[in-house]
Copies of this chain bind each other. A is one copy, B any other.
Amino acid sequence: MEQLKERIRRDGRVLPGSIIKVDGFLNHRVDIRLMEELALEFAKYFDISRITMVLTAEASGIALAAICAQRYGVPMVFAKKAKSDNIEGGLYQSEIFSYTYKKKVTQILSREWLTAGDRVLIIDDFMANGEAVRGLCDIVSQAGAELVGVGIAIEKGFQGGGDRLRAMGVNYHALAVIQRADENGIVFRGEEP
């Protein structure tokens, strides 16, 4: 998606360790107008008319997922990081490794809000190693629900998470795939010199 790539080129910054900072428009300060454009773009790749919900993971995917759910006319559900007092039993659980927090995190989702009849579109802001999305796919599978697709705003193509989903045959699409990010700048997949 050219508009997103342009925004990344303009406002993104690369920190040591190939950390890509896009917190001016995506995951700290959120440009809601841009999120609306991303929601429209995802609709080109997935059969939106079939979905019953948008699913994401706490926390940074919630804004994008909410705008997508609004556009598609379905509820948005987000998996939580365990363990708050406000969730009792009856949970789907999936254990993932958070590279951001450098520890294991348990994603939880109430069985009340995802059932075998659901057709789920997973939306997240970022794909790196893919642990968050792997956990969400696992939860969809535990529920016996149908995974309609996985839509990601920005994929760090060099960290493998997106390619693993592609290899598994998941209906996966990322709107911008960054192939390289270092002191020389950001290079998108398909635009390597």
Among B24, B30, B110, point to the contact of A28 (Cβ < 8 A): B110
Among B27, B28, B32, B84, point to the contact of A69 (Cβ < 8 A): B32
Is residue A153 contacting chain B, with contact meaning CB distance below 8 A?
Answer: no
A86-B100, A87-B23 are known contacts. Are A66 and B113 too (CB-CB below 8 A)?
no
Q: B75 touching A32 by the CB < 8 A rule?
A: yes
Q: A62 touching B70 by the CB < 8 A rule?
A: no
Nearest CB of chain B from residue A103's CB, rounded to whole Å: 12
Among B30, B32, B58, B100, point to the contact of A59 (Cβ < 8 A): B58
Number of copies: 2
Q: How far is the CA of A87 from the CA of B15 in the complex (A)?
A: 10
Residues of A53-84 whose CB lies within 8 A of B: 53, 58-59, 62-63, 65-67, 69-70, 74-78, 80, 84
Contacts of A69 in B (CB 8 A): 30, 32
A63-B76, A67-B66, A67-B70 are known contacts. Are A86 and B19 too (CB-CB below 8 A)?
yes
Size class of the A contact interface (CB-based, 8 Å): 35 or more
A36-B70, A62-B63, A85-B100 are known contacts. Are A76 and B30 too (CB-CB below 8 A)?
yes
Q: How far is the CA of A80 from the CA of B101 in the complex (A)?
A: 13
Is residue A21 contacting chain B, with contact meaning CB distance below 8 A?
Answer: yes
Mask, A155-185, CB within 8 Å of B = 1, is 0000000000000000000000000000000
Is residue A29 contacting chain B, with contact meaning CB distance below 8 A?
Answer: yes
Q: Which 6 A-B pairs rank lowest in CB-CB distance, beginning with the nearest?
A: A59-B59, A29-B113, A63-B66, A62-B62, A58-B59, A32-B70
